[in-house]
Amino acid sequence: MTIPAYHTPAAATPDGAPDTAAAPRRSLLRHAPAIVILLIVVADAAQFPDPDLWGHLRFGQAALASGHVIVRDTYSYSVAGGVWRNHEWLTEIVMALAYNSLGVFGLKLWKFACVAATILLMALALAETGASPAIQMNTLGLAALAMVPQNQFRPQLFTFMLLAATLALLTRDNYRGRAPLWLMVPIMALWGNLHGGFIIGIATLATYAGVVAVRDWLAGRGLGRALRLGLIALAGTLATLISPYGINAWLVVLNALKHSATQPVIADWQPLLSAIALGWSTHPADTIFFICGALVMFAFALVFIRTPQAGDLPLVAIAAILSVAAFIAVRNMPLAMIACAAPLARHVELLFARRRDRQLAQGLAGPPATGADDAVAAAVSADDRPGSNPWLVASIAIVLALVSGIFSTHISVGAESPVGAAAFMRRHDLRGNILSAFGNGEYLIWHLAPASRVFIDGRYDTVYPQRVVDQYLDFINARPDALAVLQAYPHDFVLVSANGPALGVMRHAPDWTLIYRDPHWVLFARADSAAAKMPGVPFTGNPPPISNFP
């Protein structure tokens, strides 16, 4: 019997990269394109607005209207005119262009394109591993499911896409010994203007170069390759400085990662295990995405322990670092999935190859059996045949796209947004400074600015100093200094959750009058204002549980 060469894991060449002849590329894009399309649709299935979506669009529209990048804040009163270091400025312009041109459909098309590019780049990376199409398909499927909750209408989509591009290049370099790594310089220059996740790109390049350096030095191969990789990492790092903000973009991102006081109250920053436990007690079905991610990371660790070949140690190190990051904060889950996919598929293939070699050795040692060799060969080569009807898979993808509303012209807005309160203020022409939850800030900016300004919003790390953030947390959590926050600024209105601690503060706050309430939000005005003296206050609203964006 002759066993196809591509079922033998790639052997290491003298430079530490696997031998390309031993493991030809087997891409899902050729073997199962319909499956890839289905996984793109699955990964893009979540169609709900991030709280900052309104702000991203408004800020992008403002930049387009003014013809320049805005560097001073005009939307808040707590830091009016303060420096705004917006590391997402280019993404916001792209989003505004999509929305201005095609409305909600344009936004959905942009989101779909980013998700599709990410999945396709992950498929290209998987093709470099020598793993069978079946292994690649299952790995990519679990990763796509785990990424669903984070694939929202926000700038992080560009970070996912560009990290996938980075790892596709590094995976090819590691497993094939060659790749156009010079592309990392323009990629990093672009990344530095799209989203603060460029810090992940810098860390990825540095980790790859560092591990290659240690591995080659220990193997006595010299540091020539590591120096070349180090120069690319350095050039890519410097390229991120080509932006309107220069080094300030680095500083604001590093500050956010280091000690953002708002992280404990943002769901994205919760530890993975805590998110699973909380989700299981409230919405058990939603935890399937987190469980898929945890499964990918645990499987990656397990198969690497079972097959600890050093040929892909740089990729393994990157995957390990980003896996730890995912356990620290669920917002990092897609990063871990992108990093784990290729080394996971590679080591699963190595594990299966070891088992096949053992079975073949046992078969050769035993008595020959008619047709046994043909059966083994058929079982092995079956990995390369599509496991399902491509037309059926494509049909499922189309149905899922229609059901999830991927290409519909609306996005549902839930009760977490103050739809009724904002409509009440517009209807009665109420204008002024609004103290509210930072998650509502950009919704209020979209609907009420420039006539009204907010105390804080989702730009907290790029605009607001720590002092303002701390004061906001004192108020919203009803800490002892909550009343002092009410007295320290010229608030005209206070909008609080109907179930939050701050409502108790407002009920006992002197000089404030309740003027509007609904099942979710409560609005107060200063007692001596015209708003507080309107006939019929407090008004009771009953906004629909679901409305359409914006």
3-state SS of 459-499 is: CHHHHCCHHHHHHHHHHHCCCCCHHHHHHHCCCCEEEEECC
Question: Count of CB atoms within 10 A of residue 1's CB?
Answer: 12
* Long-range CB contacts for residues 331-335, cutoff 8 Å, separation at least 24: 331/150, 331/156, 331/268, 331/269, 333/146, 333/147, 333/149, 333/150, 333/272, 333/290, 333/293, 334/118, 334/146, 334/147, 334/150, 334/151, 334/156, 334/160, 335/159, 335/160, 335/163, 335/197, 335/200
Q: Full-prediction pTM beyond 0.85?
A: yes
Give strand pairing partners of 83.
72
CB distance 340 to 300 below 8 Å: yes
User: Do 193 and 245 form a contact (C-beta atoms < 8 A)?
Assistant: no
Q: Are strands 521-526 and 493-497 parallel, antiparallel or unpaired?
A: antiparallel
Question: What's phi and psi for 433, nearest 5 deg?
Answer: -85, 130
Task: Tell me if residue 526 falls in helix, strand or coil.
Answer: strand
CA end-to-end span of the chain: 65
For residue 180, the SS3 value is coil
Q: β-strand 453-454 against 512-517: which pairing, if any?
A: unpaired
Q: What is the pLDDT of residue 265?
A: 58
Q: What does DSSP say about strands 512-517 and 521-526: parallel, antiparallel, or unpaired? A: antiparallel
**Where are the domains positioned within the chain?**
5-404, 413-548
Whole-number Cα distances in Å, 527 to 394, 420, 482, 512: 61, 21, 18, 5
Which sign, positive or negative, has the C-alpha torsion 25, 30, 34, 36? positive
Please give the Cα distance from 69 to 65 (Å, whole number). Answer: 10
Number of other CB atoms surrounding residue 182 within 10 Å: 12
Profile the chain (550 residues) by mean pLDDT over runs of 10 residues: 35 44 73 93 92 94 92 92 91 97 96 97 95 93 94 95 98 92 97 94 96 91 92 96 87 71 63 77 80 93 88 94 92 95 94 81 59 40 56 87 89 87 94 93 94 92 88 93 92 94 91 93 94 90 83
Question: How many other C-beta atoms can be found within 10 angstroms of the C-beta atom of residue 391?
Answer: 9
CB neighbourhood size of 281 (10 A): 9
Nearest to 163 by CA among 127, 121, 193, 206: 121
Which residues does 499 contact at the CB level (< 8 Å), separation at least 6? none
CA 209 to the chain's CA centroid: 25
Check: CB of residue 138 under 8 Å from CB of residue 98.
no
Give the pLDDT confidence score for residue 379 in this predicted structure.
Answer: 38
Question: What residues contact 101, with CB distance under 8 A and at least 6 apart?
Answer: none
How far is it, in rounded angstroms, from Cα 311 to Cα 343?
Answer: 10
Nearest-angstrom CA–CA distance, 385 and 35: 12
**Could you read off the pLDDT of 28-86 as tens digits, one per residue?**
999 899 999 999 999 999 998 988 999 999 999 999 999 988 889 999 999 988 989 99
Structure tokens at 472: 């906001």
Ordered alpha helix ranges (H), 128-271? 133-147, 156-176, 184-194, 198-218, 224-239, 247-259
CA–CA separation, 510 and 494 (whole Å): 13
